[in-house]
C-alpha cells in the first residue's frame, strides 16, 4: 500500500512538472501567422508585423533555456537570425540556429563568463529595427557571471557560496549578485537598447518578481548597494566576503560607481517582460491529477519560504489536524505546497532543501500511518545531489532504526541525502529542463 501511495504522489508531481514544460510554455506564447497577405507575430498578448524587423535574435539563460529556444526556432523558422543561450551542464540540447553554451551552476565558472560575454555581444549588436527575444528561467543568475571591474570570478564564486550557505533568500542573494554584475539588474537590457526586447520568463521565485528571477537582466532593479551590504551584515558574512566585493559595494554607496537601472528609466519603454510558466500553474495541474485519483485536494500555498525544517513543522501540523478533525479538508486528502525554502548549513553532510524537508517531516510525523509525502525540486536536482527530493512515510523511521541510524543526527549534520539513500527514499527524475521552484505532495488517508 505504501508503494502504491508513493506511485500516486509521483504521478501528481509529474503532472506539475509537465505543466512547467518550457517548450510547451513558449510554444503557446509565440505564434507566426499569415492572413490575407499580412504576416503577424504574436508573443503573448503582444502583436507585431515581423516585416518591420530587420533581424530577430534569441538570447537567454537558465535551466529551461534550451526548450524555450527550441520552441522559438520552430515558431519563427527562417525569420530567426540566430542567437545564443546558456544552460547548466547536462541540460544542453542540439538546436538548429541557436548556439548552446553549458556552464556551472549554482557556483559560476569560466564557461558562464564566456556565455555572458556572448549574450552581451549579441545584445550590443542589435539595432533599433531589430527584435531581441530574451529567454529567462531559473539558474540564469549563476549561469551568467559577468563580474564588475575589480571583482574576479573567484571573488564572485566565494561570495555566492557564502550567501547560499548562510540561508539567505533568493531575493537577498540576488540583491548582492546584481550589484557585482555587468549583466544582471537590467544591464542586459541596457546593452540591447534601443532594440525592441521581449523577455519570456519561467518564474522560479516566490511572488513571480521579475526583478528577482535570474537577478532581472531585463527588469528594473529597486534594490541598492546599501541593500546588498545589509544582506551581508544580516547573515554575518561581510567579514568573510572577498575584499574586492566589499570595496565595490562601498564605492556604490558613495556614488563613485553607477547604480543598476531603476524603475522609470527610459530603457524599459522598449521592453516587455512576460511570465509564461510558474509554480502556481504547476500546482493547479497537480491538483487536477490528484482529484482524478480520488483525493479531496487543497493547494495550501504556492509562496512557501523560510527554513525547510520550519515549513515541514507547519505542514505536519496541518496533516495532524486533518487526521484529527478533517480540517481544512478530510481524508482521503492531498495537500499541495509550492515555493522555495532554505537550509542553513551547519553540518558537513550532503543534501538539499527538499531532502531536508522530507527528513524533518519524517521526524515530526514519526510512525503515523496513512501519510505519504514527496518533496522535490522541479529542476530535477536538490542541492549538490543527483536527486530531485525524497519520499517520507510511516516506514521511513522504522527502516532507519532497524539499520541503527539516528535520523536526528543526520538532520543536524545536513546529511539528508545519505539518510534517504540508506532507507530507500530518494526521488530521482534526472535533468528536467525546467525550474518553477519546489513542489510538495502530501497524501493523507
Question: 1 pLDDT band (50/70/90 cuts)?
Answer: low
Percent pLDDT > 70 in the chain is 100
| pLDDT over 90 at 228, yes or no | yes
Beta strands at 196-202 and 271-277: parallel, antiparallel or unpaired: parallel
- Residue 60, C-alpha cell as written in the block: 537567454
User: What is the rounded CA–CA span in Å between residue 173 and residue 163?
Assistant: 6
User: What is the rounded CA–CA span in Å between residue 180 and residue 326?
Assistant: 51
3-state secondary structure of 122: helix
pLDDT value of residue 107: 85
| pLDDT over 70 at 429, yes or no | yes
Could you tell me which residue, 204 or 439, shows the higher pLDDT?
439
Burial group, residue 259, by CB count within 10 angstroms (0-12, 13-18, 19+): middle
DSSP assignments along 61-90, one per residue: ESTTHHHHHHHHHHHHGGG--EEEEEEETT
The domains of the chain, with CATH numbers, are 21-277 (3.40.50.10180), 280-444 (3.40.1480.10)
pLDDT value of residue 240: 96
User: What is the rounded CA–CA span in Å between residue 183 and residue 147?
Assistant: 9
- β-pair partners for 393: 372
- Tens digit of each residue's pLDDT (9 = 90 or more) over 322-356: 999 999 999 999 999 999 998 888 899 999 999 99
pLDDT value of residue 164: 86
pTM above 0.85, yes or no: yes
- Tens digit of each residue's pLDDT (9 = 90 or more) over 101-155: 999 998 889 999 999 999 999 999 999 999 999 999 988 989 999 999 999 999 9
- Tens digit of each residue's pLDDT (9 = 90 or more) over 287-334: 999 999 999 999 999 999 999 999 999 999 999 999 999 999 999 999
- Tens digit of each residue's pLDDT (9 = 90 or more) over 2-18: 788 999 999 999 999 99
Q: Looking at residue 330, what DSSP letter applies?
A: P
- Residue 147, C-alpha cell as written in the block: 563580474
Strand order in the sheet with 30-35: 30-35, 38-43, 46-48
- Tens digit of each residue's pLDDT (9 = 90 or more) over 20-61: 999 999 999 999 999 888 999 999 999 999 999 999 999 999
Q: Which residues of 149-186 are buried (b: 16+ CB within 10 A; e: fewer)?
A: eebebebbbbbbebbbebbbbbbbbbbbbbbbbbbbbb
Task: Find where cell 546529511 sits.
Answer: 415
Task: Give the chain's mean pLDDT.
Answer: 95
Phi, psi of 36 (to 5 degrees): 55, 40
pLDDT value of residue 186: 97
pLDDT value of residue 190: 96
Beta strands at 333-339 and 438-444: parallel, antiparallel or unpaired: antiparallel
Amino acid at each position: 500500500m505504501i508503494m502504491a501511495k508513493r506511485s500516486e504522489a509521483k504521478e501528481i508531481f509529474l503532472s506539475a512538472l509537465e505543466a512547467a514544460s518550457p517548450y510547451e510554455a513558449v510554444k503557446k506564447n509565440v505564434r507566426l501567422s499569415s492572413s490575407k497577405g499580412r504576416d503577424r507575430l504574436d508573443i503573448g498578448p503582444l502583436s507585431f508585423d515581423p516585416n518591420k524587423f530587420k533581424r530577430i535574435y534569441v538570447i537567454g539563460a537558465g535551466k529551461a533555456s534550451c526548450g524555450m529556444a527550441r520552441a522559438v526556432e520552430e515558431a519563427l523558422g527562417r525569420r530567426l537570425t540566430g542567437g545564443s543561450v546558456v544552460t547548466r551542464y547536462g541540460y544542453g540540447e542540439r538546436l538548429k540556429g541557436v548556439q548552446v553554451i553549458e556552464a556551472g551552476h549554482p557556483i559560476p565558472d569560466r564557461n558562464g563568463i564566456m556565455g555572458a560575454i556572448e549574450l552581451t555581444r549579441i545584445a550590443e549588436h542589435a539595432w533599433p529595427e531589430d527584435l531581441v527575444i530574451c529567454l529567462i528561467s531559473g539558474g540564469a543568475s549563476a549561469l551568467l557571471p559577468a563580474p564588475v571591474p575589480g571583482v574576479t570570478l573567484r571573488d564572485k564564486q566565494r561570495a555566492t557560496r557564502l550567501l547560499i550557505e548562510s540561508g539567505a533568500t533568493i531575493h537577498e542573494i540576488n540583491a548582492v549578485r546584481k550589484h557585482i554584475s555587468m549583466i544582471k539588474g537590467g544591464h542586459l537590457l541596457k546593452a540591447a537598447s534601443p532594440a525592441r526586447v521581449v523577455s519570456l520568463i519561467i518564474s522560479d521565485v516566490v511572488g513571480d518578481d521579475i526583478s528577482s528571477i535570474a537577478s532581472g537582466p531585463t527588469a528594473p532593479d529597486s534594490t541598492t548597494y546599501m541593500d546588498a551590504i545589509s544582506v551581508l551584515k544580516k547573515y554575518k558574512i561581510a567579514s568573510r566576503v572577498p575584499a574586492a566585493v566589499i570595496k565595490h559595494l562601498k564605492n556604490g554607496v558613495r556614488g563613485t560607481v553607477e547604480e543598476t537601472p531603476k524603475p522609470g528609466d527610459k530603457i524599459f519603454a522598449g521592453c516587455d517582460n512576460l511570465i509564461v510558466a510558474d509554480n502556481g500553474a504547476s500546482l493547479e495541474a497537480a491538483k487536477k491529477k490528484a482529484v482524478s485519483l480520488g483525493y479531496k485536494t487543497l493547494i495550501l500555498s504556492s509562496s512557501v519560504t523560510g527554513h525547510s525544517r520550519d515549513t515541514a513543522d507547519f505542514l505536519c501540523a496541518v496533516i495532524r489536524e486533518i487526521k484529527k478533525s478533517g480540517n481544512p479538508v478530510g481524508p482521503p486528502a492531498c495537500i499541495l505546497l509550492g515555493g522555495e525554502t532554505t537550509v542553513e548549513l551547519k553540518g558537513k553532510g550532503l543534501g538539499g532543501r527538499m531532502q531536508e524537508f522530507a527528513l524533518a517531516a519524517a521526524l515530526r510525523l514519526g510512525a503515523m500511518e496513512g501519510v505519504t509525502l514527496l518533496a522535490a525540486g522541479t529542476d530535477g536536482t536538490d542541492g549538490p545531489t543527483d536527486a530531485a527530493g525524497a519520499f517520507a512515510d510511516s516506514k521511513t523511521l522504522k527502516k532507519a532504526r532497524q539499520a541503527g541510524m539516528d535520523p536526528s543526527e543526520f538532520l543536524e549534520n545536513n546529511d539528508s541525502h545519505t539518510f534517504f539513500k540508506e532507507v530507500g527514499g530518494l526521488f530521482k527524475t534526472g535533468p528536467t529542463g525546467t525550474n518553477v521552484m519546489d513542489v510538495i505532495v502530501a497524501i493523507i488517508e
